[in-house]
Amino acid sequence: PSDPLGVKVSDTGSNFITISWTGIKEGEGIVGFGLLVKPKNEAAPPIEIILNANIRTYTIAAIQPCKLFDITIFSLTSDNTSPGVLVEAETKLPTVTGVSGKQEMPGSIKVKWSKLDQQCFDAYRISLSSSLEELISIAEKIEEELIIPGAIPDTDYEITVATVAVGKSSPPSSPIKLKTGVFSPKGGK
């Protein structure tokens, strides 16, 4: 049989890859598709997935962040397989969770997050953004909190944290909202 047509990687996240294809050559008796998913340059056996003939997209989930995968898709007939189309895809850097923010002193906000143990990123990028400005700070990989100075009183901020590596960034964490207080000169509220 002929290979599936229009095979492409349509989406990737830190722990999933979605592959899609547009169709098949009709009249070849294709009964389904086979997928082989394998981390590139690793000796691990591939994950094998069999799909029905009416399916045109599939998400490979629960895979590791920032890894390169070789994905091969075949058309299947009752007694044969097509040569296979190979696509390469890379999962994104891991996404940060457990983000919280708290005003510590006038003008400074302490941001905390759940530390990640993956080795494949270099640092955390913390963004504190208001309608007027965006304050960007970088925290080392071993850190799980950072105090960010320079926040304006009585301002609504949105806090996100992402993992970064050279030329790459994870999707930002779910944004946390925080409004800074108004401080009197005595330091009371």
List, in sequence order, every residue forming a beta bridge with 164; answer none if it has no partner. 123, 169
pLDDT tier for residue 44 given thresholds of 50, 70 and 90: confident
Mean pLDDT for all residues in the chain: 93
What is the domain class of 8-90 according to CATH? mainly beta
135: buried, middle or exposed (CB in 10 Å: 19+, 13-18, 0-12)?
middle
pTM value? Answer: 0.74
Per-residue model confidence as pLDDT tens digits over 51-95: 999 999 999 999 989 899 999 999 999 999 999 999 999 999 999
> In this structure, are residues 3 and 85 in contact, taking their beta carbons and an 8 Å threshold?
yes
129 band by pLDDT with thresholds 50, 70 and 90: very high
1-29: pLDDT as tens digits: 999 999 999 999 989 999 999 999 999 99
Query: Spelled out in words, what is the top-level CATH class assigned to the domain 100-179?
Result: mainly beta
**Is 39 in contact with 89 (CB distance < 8 Å)?**
no
Q: One fold for both 8-90 and 100-179?
A: yes
Sorted by where each begins, the domain ranges of the chain are 8-90, 100-179
